[in-house]
Structure 1
Amino acid sequence: MSVDFSGRVAIVTGAGNGLGRSHALELAKRGAKVVVNDLGGARDGTGASSAAADEVVNLITEAGGEAFAHGANVAKFDEVEDMVKQAMERWGRVDILINNAGILRDKSFSKMALADFQLVMDVHLMGTVNCCKAVWEIMKEQQYGRIVMTTSSSGLYGNFGQTNYGAAKMAVIGLMNTLVLEGQKYDIRVNALAPTAGTRMTEDLMPEEILAMLKPESVTAGALTLVTDDAPNKFILCAGAGGYAASKIVETEGIFLPESEQNPEAVLAQWDAVVASDGDRELESGAKQSEKFLTKAMQALQGA
């Protein structure tokens, strides 16, 4: 099956370099009209330049595609609104949003300034919120939307020196989970990508021979899978070096304790049953957890 994005309009944030650049170029190659967003700052978020985004636009237009650059700082909603407004004025719709923009301010938690924690949260979390908010009503009105959150193994599993980045990257999973529920009836599908790639973000963190294996294009294959017409929903796709896997948040079946035994001693006594994985399942919403526990409680009452 050939994947084609002809007639689709895509916004890719942080698209001047690395993963975003790869996503934008491949979307355009497959027919999408692309907004190439990039503030053009350094890896730590300082500075600004339009050069990288302009280069990507030139590559797209020289190949016969349509694109324009926009330097919105995703952490500033008014700038994001202007970017989306320009896309609507030019092309009349927004079908795809890939939230890719990001910065790093790595330090151990003991040494990290709270200002650096806040800035990383502002770019990764609030930047994603701002972009989703700016396109949400458009996607609802047109009854179609595909949104990708860029999460990270640092958020899903942890990584030393990245409390700020990890917290932000896990937060976008929470954002995804609820947007999935609110967008379902409008055919807005929201998924997350957990990439491993050799980019500006990782260039001095890994040896050259390893970086050579971590091509952004490998991750882009996953990103584009998540924005097709037949895309999944509420899916966390891990991608890198040619590997693709699903990451899942599951809950064990657990136990029920009567009121007289609802104490830490009783919980510890049945810990093996609490953590037993034979009944693991993904829950469709937070309400399903309440439903499960209340069902156990009702069954216990009826059996009393």
Structure 2
Amino acid sequence: MGFLFAARGCVAAAALLCVILPCHAKLSTRFYARTCPNVEAIVRSVMAPAVAAEPRMGASIIRLFFHDCFVNGCDASILLDDTPTFTGEKNAGANVNSVRGYEVIDAIKARVEASCKATVSCADIVALAARDAVNLLRGPTWNVPLGRKDSRTATQSAANANLPGPGSSAASLVSAFAAKGLSAREMTALSGAHTVGRARCLFFRGRIYGETNINATFAAARRRTCPQAGGDGNLAPFDDRTPDAFDNAYYTNLVARRGLLHSDQELFNGGPQDALVRKYSGNGKIFAGDFAKAMVKMGGLMPAAGTPTEVRLNCRKVN
């Protein structure tokens, strides 16, 4: 008992030190083995009923992780509410009315704090929740390296500059991921997260009314709930065959020219990614393995050296 108290004290002191000095400790799957050994079970205990009640929430948590890591690293900056001193990421163009699930992360954090006070970062909670979201939707699982810290600031401009949009070309996607140290293969695998979830009519209207590299029957079906004027918020599944199953159907759809977003279909449009899309379409195990490895690599993106960090007690605000 005394050792556990001392260990937690060390973690708190380390978190405070990270506010002053840049912290880039190597992540470890056993980071909380002594200080919060039940953290993964706690995360799962909240994620399982949340996804069971609304499978779309699983896709939303995966998206939350992506959009956090792509802006200044995996530092939970996306969770920060705006303050008088900064405008955060929640209302950036790619996030507003698109990223959700904040209340699920809040629920996990509350339960983790009750068990292991001031120990587990919000960034690590998001990473674990994203892994569980994939698995709860019948996708792969993997060991999540832990030990991230939470940023003490966020910038809307950084989110607007770093997050790819639904109209992105294949070349711009390759470039955006390369800027984060992720290969074209990893980009193509990570895009497979669109095998689950929904998109708003606003983001695919241009494709279903103005593009030719699209299955006519698919386009007609999407137009029924996405008129040329109005209905911007109407939702459609990325994969209308198995919308809540984390499988390789995303790639099968691309080969059939049934990609929902322009950026989706760009991965199978006569370019270098075509061969890999065909491979994933024909072999779900290869896709699942590549996706898991790419998620671990993306989860290793860290804030820039010198960024003030801490373990937040409330994921929405700094301590």
**TM above 0.5, one fold?**
no
Pair member with larger Rg: 1
Please state which band the TM-score falls in when normalised by the shorter chain: under 0.3
Which structure: greater strand fraction?
Answer: 1
Higher RCO (CA < 8 A, seq sep 6+): 2
